Homo-oligomer: A and B are copies of this chain.
Amino acid sequence: MEMSLKRRETMHRLCAKGLEIFNEKGYYNTSLDDILTELNLSKGAFYHHFKSKEDYFISIVQNLMVQKVYALLVEPLDTFENPLPIIVESLENALEPGRQNEMAYGFMLNDFLTEFHKRNEEISRYLKDIINVWEVNLVSVLKKGKVDGHIARHVDCEGVATYIIASFMGMRTLMMDSSNRQLKYQYIQQLKQYFKSLETERVLA
């Protein structure tokens, strides 16, 4: 039962454009026709491929968002160096607009999580799963950093991961409008400041 090429292509076009517009205007504020018009497709075409708007969005989450978050925030962590600068770099990079896509994939998570919170339990779960994957990987790389002597022994890795994620998510709310250059700089600076307090103390000569 191979999916035909045509089918795959149309579904992918729908998902890609859907992510773009949902990200711009929000899920509930975007009608299917908003998306279909831009693709010159009809309601009929849509419901031939997806069984509902919800099903459609879940496809987007699983096919596009997961990969993007993974590529931007999880894979960069896979290194043997000191994890703290690596984490800073990955966050800095994730905040950079228009890198190859012009969407801030880390931010979307915050927006969508808030939007679906208490409105759609199922979609919320899928989104939370993504955060969980990120968190687990952060914790693991932090623990490795502890073993390798980059991070002080007293540090609570789970707590640090939570704090990193929270501050990153929260930046979205603040960066919503304009002047994001300054905000991003402030954020990265303070993050580094915070990370300094997690480092193993320099041994006195």
Contact = CB atoms under 8 A, between A and B. Distances in A.
Contacts of A158: 186
B28 A28 contact: yes
Interface in A106-162: 109-111, 113-115, 117-119, 124, 128, 131, 156, 158-160, 162
B114 A115 contact: yes
Contacts of A113: 173, 176
A34 interface: no
Interface stretch (A53-61, A81-89, A164-172): A164-172
A4 B49 CA distance: 58
A144 B66 CA distance: 45
Contacts of A42: none
